[in-house]
Structure 1
Amino acid sequence: MQLPSFQVPPRTIMTPGPVEVDPRVLRAMSASILGQFDPSFTSLMNETMELLRKVLQTENHWAYPIDGTSRAGIEAMLCSVIEEEDKVLVPSFGRFGYLLTEIAERCGADVHLMHCEWGEVFDPQDIISEMKNIRPKVVAIVHGDTSTGRMQPLAEIGAACRESGSLLIVDAVATVAGTEVKTDEWKIDGLITGTQKCLSVPAGMAPITYNERIEAVISLRKAIERGLVPQEQLTSRNLDRRIQSNYFDLSQLQDYWSPARLNHHTEATSMLYGLYEGLWIILEEGLANRYQRHRLNEQALVAGITAMGLSIFGNSSCKLPTVTCVEIPDGIDGEAVRAMLLDEFGIEIASSFGPLHGKIWRIGTMGYSCQKRNVLLTLASLEAVLLRHRVKIHPGEAVQAALDVYQQAVKQSS
């Protein structure tokens, strides 16, 4: 039996991830394989760490990728830091706060979960007040939650964590390289991102960085495991501080990414080529320019959506610049609209989760997908699909409103 070869259909990806990959990244990933201890490859590892420090705006020594999707990075960070019965505070304003909760609970943590209405974020003072009440070892929080399209301010929380001795661990998967993320300035102790969003690299790596405060926790667990801590210094709580995962053990991964190059796993060679090229592209564009490009395309998309007669979901003051959530008009099958966009125009947008499923569409403007052409195509195509579904909108207004935004930007820059 002869099986047909797989044919990839043409797509314009406007979801909150994965997104379109920069062609330069795809070309880089097609290069020949190097051995993981080849000097050319270990040099690439070192150079990738340096590029990551620049993109993540940190002076941390440790900045390297975990092989796996962004969830792998989150799990590696939390499992290497959290010990059984540790108090962990998770302020959740969307679906991915629950992911942090589940992983922390699997580590045996005593999790204190804060909630706020989906579409809102927390007043930082409310989080700080709760920190004072429970005195957690770790505050784990999402920066930008794609399920609700909201972004949580972090600067005050980081400063409070530093004062109280808590560790701040941040899921910045949806924000790094798309909007400002100041790791050191905001006093973030551990940060995780992912290649498949604003970095515009295929899913498969989760860059992380962490400072000496987290390294101290990891080093103590490692020392106890190896019997290097005197028995009289041990308590009943830390007699067994073994990190439960081998693959996600940051103490072993440190050894692998250090000059010692102690073998831990076979590095994902082609993925590292792609990450290196993707980081170079970001720095060539410049972080400030990249953030401005994301803001401009978001503004054009929002202008078009509202001119069409649709409503943007959530509190606009805390909107995530890389994801726009659109309220589905009453009586409309949101999945039918998405299907027609995909089938007839080759454009993919996303639905949502939990209480927002069937109530909003989520449109991503991330990385390489975040470009004028994609925004205009999406607006024109969505308008056509909604008209076919007999939705009462303002025909012809969406693209014109977006063009106004782009033309105004040109005038301001000239």
Structure 2
Amino acid sequence: MTDLRTSSIPGPIDPPPRLLMGPGPISAYPSVLRAMSAPLVGQYDPFMTEAMAQTQELYRAVWDTTNQATMLVDGTSRAGIEAALVSLIRPGEKVLVPVFGRFGHLLAEIAERAMAQVHTIETEWGQVFTPSAIEQAIIATRPKLLALVQGDTSTTMNQPLDEIGAICERHGVLFYTDATASVGGNDFAADAWGLDAATAGLQKCLGGPSGSSPITLSEKAVEVIRSRGRVEVGIREDGDPDASDFIRSNYFDLAMIMDYWGPRRLNHHTEATSMLYGARECARLLLLEGRQAVIDRHARAGAAMLDGVRALGLQVFGDVAHKMNNVVAVRIPDGVPGDPIRARLLTDFGIEIGTSFGPLHGLVWRIGTMGYNARLDAVLTTLSALGAVLSQAGFPARVDAALEAASAAFGPTSKEA
């Protein structure tokens, strides 16, 4: 048995102060961190079950839906994605995934692992799909499910969804979206847009830590999920031996998770209590400020960062008309070392910005303005530090112009208005 001497045991966790201005995770709201330090209770304590019910109601407002099947999947945003896909897809069914960035490829991979026949269409990174392009692909492939990312942080693009639900309805297709990077900071209307399933995470515009995945399911999606069999102690409830008919995952079986969150409270897992507290507080803060007010704040902060980096002398990537409010891709200037600049920002100023993936690797930095950090002082601090580091690298950064442009774009703060 290993015997650690007292001198070799690490001290308590003491992370350095950071301003997280990348594409996520971001700095959490202080009250979210406080909520997560609240005392634990048993999973069937009346306080706990009431907190779960409150969380469901809060997230119905966040998603702009009346869906009863609105809840949390314990795990990061990818857990929500996987739960949705493995629960909605039967092996052999066709799934269409329009890919405009890294996370479209992720949806395709998870659908393939769920044994779907996956069809993809792709567009250039930095662009989005037109509704007609998606409809043409649906007509050509006849999928059971359309899986579409709304906001992809790898490209910073925000795929319009408002016309897609009606297209799916016309062709009898279920409509799922991954809104991890977008919900809370960009327009989202689950019911009005005809979504059957949507999932997210806390670590972007919702202003919390990674580890809990809000999900909402339409009645149609619930019916599809519940139409599939369940394994109970190794025996199919309906006696049907067709193994393709039941959900292969236990942890991500949304039929069982719905029973856990529903009025029957059937045991499935032990709820991640501290993450529930944090998720509840994320939604509470958003609704307390006002759902549209938070979206507007993200739009103002995003516009301030966009105008600021341009005034600094930098160029941005992609179709800015379809950029998410909460993240911008900044082209790394010729002759400027991308990774060393990021490292200097972190070591000298305690500010983190993001690198990039795939065809954009080494070409852009990704700078986020989301959640708690979607505010003017965070934007100005980041621009000042980035300008200083760029100047040290020999780039003629126009810091004063950047700060002036960002302040003008953000507009007056609530105290100044």
AA of the residue aligned to 1:141: L
- Find the partner of 2:392 among 388, 391, 403: 388
Q: Please tell me the root mean square deviation across aligned C-alpha atoms, in Å.
A: 1.7
Shift in CA distance, 327/114, structure 1 to aligned 2, threshold 3 Å: same
**2-structure distance, mates of 1:400, 1:230:** 69
- Is 1:46 the counterpart of 2:59? The answer is no
Question: Shift of the alpha carbon at 1:224?
Answer: 9.3
- SS of 1:170's equivalent? strand
Q: Could you say what secondary structure the match of 1:325 adopts? A: strand
Partner in structure 2 of residue 97 of structure 1: 104
Write the distance in 2 (CA, Å) between the matches of 1:314 and 1:240.
42
Partner of 1:355: 359
Give distance in 2, aligned partners of 1:385 and 1:45: 46
Alpha-carbon offset, residue 228 of structure 1? 5.8
Rounded Cα–Cα distance in structure 2 between residues aligned with 1:360 and 1:133: 35
- CA deviation profile, 1:387-414 (whole Å, cap 9, x unmatched): 000013334211121122234x469x95
* 1:125 counterpart residue number: 132
Alpha-carbon offset, residue 229 of structure 1: 5.3
Which of 141, 148, 169 is equivalent to 2:148?
Answer: 141
CA offset digits 1:273-316 (Å, max 9, x no partner): 11111111110000111111101111111111111110011011
Say if 1:224 and 1:239, in contact at 8 Å, map to a contact too.
no
In structure 2, relative to structure 1, the CA distance for the partners of 1:348 and 1:224 (3 Å cut) is: closer
Counterparts of 1:307 and 1:340, CA distance in 2:
21
1:67 paired to 2:71: no
Question: Which consecutive unaligned segments of at least 5 residues does structure 2 have?
Answer: none
Aligned-pair CA distance for 1:212 = 1.2
Separation (CA, whole Å) in 2 of partners of 1:264 and 1:26? 27
Task: State the match for 1:305 in structure 2.
Answer: 309
Q: Does 1:264 align with 2:268?
A: yes
* Residue number in structure 2 paired with 1:10: 17
Name segments (4+ residues, structure 1) moved above 4 Å.
223-231
Q: How does 1:199-278 map to 2 (within 5 A)?
A: 199-222=206-229, 240-278=244-282
Instruction: Tell me the SS of whatever aligns to 2:244.
Output: coil
1:94-152 deviations in Å (ceiling 9; x for gaps): 00000000000011111111100000011110011110111100000100000000011
What is the SS of the residue equivalent to 2:317? coil
Provide the C-alpha distance between the structure 2 equivalents of 1:329 and 1:79, rounded to a whole number of angstroms: 43
Q: State the Cα distance separating 1:204 from its structure 2 match.
A: 0.6
Distance 1:380 1:336, change over 3 A: same
Counterpart Cα distance in 1 of 2:340 and 2:243: 56
Query: Could you tell me which residue of structure 1 aligns to residue 35 of structure 2?
Result: 28
SS at match of 1:155: coil
Name the counterpart of 1:171: 178
CA distance in 2 between partners of 1:254 and 1:406 (Å) = 42
Which secondary structure does the structure 2 equivalent of 1:141 belong to? Answer: strand
Asked if the contact 2:300–2:410 (Cα under 8 Å) also holds between the matched residues in 1, the reply is yes
* Secondary structure of residue in 1 paired with 2:228: helix
2:214 & 2:230 partners in 1: Cα distance? 25
SS of the residue 1:112 aligns to: strand
1:284 aligns with 2:291: no
Task: Give 1:329's aligned residue.
Answer: 333
1:372 to partner: Cα distance: 0.9
Contact 2:376 2:407 in 1 (8 A): no
Greater alpha carbon shift after TM alignment, 252-261 vs 87-96: 252-261
Aligned counterpart, 1:159? 166
Deviations 1:300-347 (A, max 9, x none): 111111111100110111111111110000122100000000000000
Tell me, yes or no, if the aligned pair for 1:224 and 1:241 is still in contact at 8 Å: no
Which residue of the partner structure matches residue 194 of structure 1?
201
For 1:378, the equivalent position in structure 2 comes to 382
Q: Is the counterpart of residue 82 in structure 1 residue 92 in structure 2?
A: no
Gaps of 5+ in 1: none
Q: For residues 250 and 183 of structure 1, what CA distance do their matches in structure 2 show?
A: 18
Looking at structure 2, the residues matched to 239 and 406 of structure 1 have their Cα atoms a distance apart, in angstroms, of 56
**TM-score of the two chains, using structure 2 as the length reference:** 0.94
Displacement after TM superposition at 1:240 (Å): 3.5
Summarize the Cα distance change of 1:353–1:263 in structure 2 as closer, same or farther, 3 Å threshold. same
Note closer, same or farther for the CA distance 1:28–1:230 as it changes in structure 2 (3 Å cut): closer
TM superposition shift of 1:80: 0.4
Deviation, 1:200, is 1.0
> How far apart are the structure 1 equivalents of 2:239 and 2:56?
35
Output the CA distance in 2 between the equivalents of 1:127 and 1:95.
18
CA distance in 2, matches of 1:336, 1:205: 33
* CA distance in 2: counterparts of 1:88 and 1:367, whole angstroms: 32
Counterpart code for 1:241: D
Q: The residue matched to 1:169 in structure 2 has which SS?
A: strand
Supply the distance in 2 between the matched residues of 1:81 and 1:152 (Cα, whole angstroms). 22
In the alignment, residue 37 of structure 1 is paired with which amino acid?
Y
